Amino acid sequence: MTAEKLSQIGELPLLEQIRKDFSKKSKNVLVGIGDDAAVVEPINKYLLATTDMMVEGIHFDLRFVTSYQLGFKLISVNVSDICAMGGEPYYLLLNIAINRNATKRFLDMFFDGVKDAISVYDTGLIGGDLSSSNKGMSISATVIGYADKYIRRSGAKMGDKIYVTGSLGDSACGLELLKKIKKPVPLRRHLSPSIEKGKGGGVKTLCFEYGLSKKTIEPLLRRHLLPEARNPKDFVHAATSMIDISDGLLIDMSRLCSESKAGARIYEEKIPMSPEMKKAAEKLGISPIKLALSGGEDYELLFTAPAGRKIKAISIGDIAESKKVIVDKKGREKPFSAEGYQHFGRL
Amino acid sequence: MTAEKLSQIGELPLLEQIRKDFSKKSKNVLVGIGDDAAVVEPINKYLLATTDMMVEGIHFDLRFVTSYQLGFKLISVNVSDICAMGGEPYYLLLNIAINRNATKRFLDMFFDGVKDAISVYDTGLIGGDLSSSNKGMSISATVIGYADKYIRRSGAKMGDKIYVTGSLGDSACGLELLKKIKKPVPLRRHLSPSIEKGKGGGVKTLCFEYGLSKKTIEPLLRRHLLPEARNPKDFVHAATSMIDISDGLLIDMSRLCSESKAGARIYEEKIPMSPEMKKAAEKLGISPIKLALSGGEDYELLFTAPAGRKIKAISIGDIAESKKVIVDKKGREKPFSAEGYQHFGRL
């Protein structure tokens, strides 16, 4: 049944199923999926909106990820943008263009990932569009959220402390591992079909070849395949500027500096790195600090707050007048600038 | 310069230009393009949201449309969904996955179409995502709107009159013409580079072969290439149910009936058809009423209102208990059901 191809099922039965699966009304939804547009009750807060796309061959490679992971990650990266404004996600809209030869099972698993993400972030799927595609898969999500107070990238002030919410480089390290495993690793959020499951080979071989344990690599793979957006509620009252780290600490710090018309001094030894990442990077022969500074897809929040405030996050430096520098363990300063992935070729 | 490829320009300069081009703040926008998410002031009305996608090879064929037309149409089809709920469009978010070998000129023209649509509907572009694509182009838009009163598909009552806002079948007829012209026709909304412009041939040959004048075919091509969403404000106070006609009168009427748990009686002779469409269809050897009933992409509003109300629209029938029938000129009844395009194969 589930190996049935989408082309054998047709659009209307698929839409009917999605509508049924996501019919649970949440948070003031008056009209959900199934009409021309969704309708929700007004809320007297700032309205936030963001959209992000994931394109096959550019943002993901179906040889390395499951459709469950795609669904989960798509929601997380969008929710992360709402969190980076200091907001809370409320509603989700989805667009899916998928090859007509894809199986029903593939699409069902994608929606399982969406469902798990929706439950983690307590958001409601209120609309979307499903299309066949002759070529690659492409998916996008729009998340609508609300905030009592919103935090821009542009509010950092000279003397503010710079914070991140968690360890950096795990996701990039997870990607390096995946490139060696060369097949999807069937991690899910709740159920944890151990990463040993599947048709064997990849993970085991990797662990054997590089002298790594599954306990070391699983959290790294998880950070890459199933990233979770960070909730800013513990520090949003104090934050002066904020961004989420999607393209790497240095490029996102540069963006924040550029919008705030300020510089930054970051202390290399303060950059949080997980023991798993350090170990795996070492075994793979990659510099851990490089992954932490430029790896990207961490989805940790990077923010600033006035000095002297008690903040539940990791301080990594200070906002400076204009120069952007990293200070290494020996106290030497090295300037940095926006470096990271750009679409359309140029790095 | 403009023949430059996107891969020669890079993502950041492109994003910078888009940000500059769309920086005009509108309607309570506090943070527009360029931060993690957009922020707008709360409005004490129902919030509406919709999203729609257009995929190369499925929804459009770059041999037949210009990128200007794609940009304009993408916004129109989304705005039309907001109108179909009785709302007014306010904000727009865009996703564009485009081949790295596309030219800067192609993307600029796409945004010209977006700009013209934004100005027609008085909406603001507040966010989006731009990605390269290895394969086809795929674009999506999310439109957020507001309404004092919203109209569902499900409110039609026995005895209500059925209305449409304008002539049907023009767009489908325009598509038939385009398939014979076999090249893009450079129509734009304001400037009207006459359809004779371009590298000649297609339009002229078609007109000659089928004995049609440009005056006849231009409005039909326009309805297909540059559809405009209809404003419901003149009748929203009276409407009991509403949908926009995207897949054809019969399929969309069936949807409305199904949601309203009602039937419909539509009078063939009341279906509005433009003289241009009737003439062109006749010359092409296609039945005009077939185009009007099943053609699709009309983006007229189809709605119901209690009998006896003065409504500025064209009455085409009545809501009945359960049967869905078309009554022809001789008074014969013919049942109809959902018929129209479905993705994934089945018609």
Tens digits of pLDDT across chain B (347 residues): 567 888 888 777 888 888 888 876 677 999 999 899 999 999 999 999 999 999 999 999 998 899 999 999 999 999 999 999 999 999 999 999 999 889 999 999 999 999 999 999 999 999 999 999 988 899 999 999 999 999 999 999 999 999 999 999 999 999 999 999 988 999 998 765 555 554 555 888 899 999 999 999 999 999 999 999 999 999 999 999 999 999 999 999 999 999 999 999 999 999 999 999 999 999 999 999 999 999 999 999 999 999 999 999 999 999 999 899 999 999 999 999 875 445 554 32
Please name the residue of chain A whose CA is at the shortest distance from the CA of residue B97: A55
Question: Are residues A55 and B138, on separate chains, in Cβ contact within 8 Å?
Answer: yes
Question: Are residues B259 and A35, on separate chains, in Cβ contact within 8 Å?
Answer: yes
Question: Are residues B85 and A131, on separate chains, in Cβ contact within 8 Å?
Answer: no
Ordered alpha helix ranges (H), A39-121:
67-83, 104-121
Question: Are residues B85 and A46, on separate chains, in Cβ contact within 8 Å?
Answer: no
Question: Are residues A35 and B153, on separate chains, in Cβ contact within 8 Å?
Answer: yes
Are B264 and B252 in contact by the 8 Å Cβ rule? The answer is no
The partner residues of B241 in beta bridges, in order of sequence, read B304
Class of residue B231 by CB neighbours under 10 A (exposed 0-12, middle 13-18, buried 19+): middle
Instruction: Count the neighbouring beta carbons within 10 Å of the beta carbon of residue B119.
Output: 11
Are A144 and A94 in contact by the 8 Å Cβ rule? The answer is no
* Residue bearing the bigger pLDDT, B315 or A337: B315
- Whether the pLDDT of residue A302 is over 90: the answer is yes
Question: Are residues A344 and B57, on separate chains, in Cβ contact within 8 Å?
Answer: no
Place of tokens 């950059």: A271
* Residue bearing the bigger pLDDT, B180 or A2: B180
Calculate ∠ Cα A60-A62-A68, nearest 5°: 90
Dihedral sign, Cα of residue B213, residue B216, residue B219, residue B222: negative
Q: What digits encode the pLDDT tens for the residues A49-82?
A: 999 999 999 999 998 899 999 999 999 999 999 9
What residues of chain B lie within 8 A of the CB of A29, using their CB? none
Are B257 and B324 in contact by the 8 Å Cβ rule? The answer is yes
- Nearest beta carbon to residue A39 from set B48, B100, B140: B48
The pLDDT of residue B16 is 84
Please name the residue of chain A whose CA is at the shortest distance from the CA of residue B100: A344
Determine the Cα–Cα distance for residues B339 and B327; give it in Å rounded to an integer.
17
A104 CA: distance to closest CA in chain B (Å): 11
Question: Are residues A51 and B144, on separate chains, in Cβ contact within 8 Å?
Answer: no
**CA A331 to centroid of chain Cα atoms:** 33
The pLDDT of residue B137 is 93
H-run or E-run covering A292: helix A288-294
What residues of chain B lie within 8 A of the CB of A134, using their CB? 55-58, 136
A240 CA: distance to closest CA in chain B (Å): 14
- Nearest beta carbon to residue A12 from set B52, B131, B342: B342
* Residue bearing the bigger pLDDT, A293 or B3: A293
Are A206 and A64 in contact by the 8 Å Cβ rule? The answer is no
- Nearest beta carbon to residue B144 from set A7, A49, A87: A49
Determine the Cα–Cα distance for residues A107 and B296; give it in Å rounded to an integer.
27
Mean pLDDT of chain A, nearest integer: 91
Which ipTM value was assigned to this complex? 0.92
Q: What is the mean pLDDT of residues A271-300?
A: 96
* This prediction's pTM: 0.93
- Whether the pLDDT of residue A174 is over 80: the answer is yes
The pLDDT of residue A347 is 29
Question: Are residues A36 and B85, on separate chains, in Cβ contact within 8 Å?
Answer: yes
- Nearest beta carbon to residue A35 from set B8, B47, B85: B85
Pick from A92, A142, A299 the residue to mutate for testing the B interface (most B CBs within 10 Å).
Answer: A142
The pLDDT of residue B3 is 77
- Whether the pLDDT of residue A277 is over 90: the answer is yes
A96: helix, strand or coil: strand
- Whether the pLDDT of residue A11 is over 50: the answer is yes
The partner residues of B290 in beta bridges, in order of sequence, read none
What residues of chain B lie within 8 A of the CB of A36, using their CB? 50, 80-82, 84-85, 153, 242-244
Are A146 and A126 in contact by the 8 Å Cβ rule? The answer is no
Pick from A47, A259, A339 the residue to mutate for testing the B interface (most B CBs within 10 Å).
Answer: A47
**Count of A-B CB contacts under 8 Å:** 260
What residues of chain B lie within 8 A of the CB of A138, using their CB? 55, 97, 133, 138
The pLDDT of residue A23 is 77
Question: Are residues B93 and A39, on separate chains, in Cβ contact within 8 Å?
Answer: no
Question: Are residues A91 and B130, on separate chains, in Cβ contact within 8 Å?
Answer: no
What residues of chain A lie within 8 A of the CB of B99, using their CB? none
Domains and CATH numbers, chain B: 9-147 (3.30.1330.10), 151-347 (3.90.650.10)
Question: Are residues B138 and A138, on separate chains, in Cβ contact within 8 Å?
Answer: yes
Q: What is the mean pLDDT of residues A179-197?
A: 77
A269 CA: distance to closest CA in chain B (Å): 28
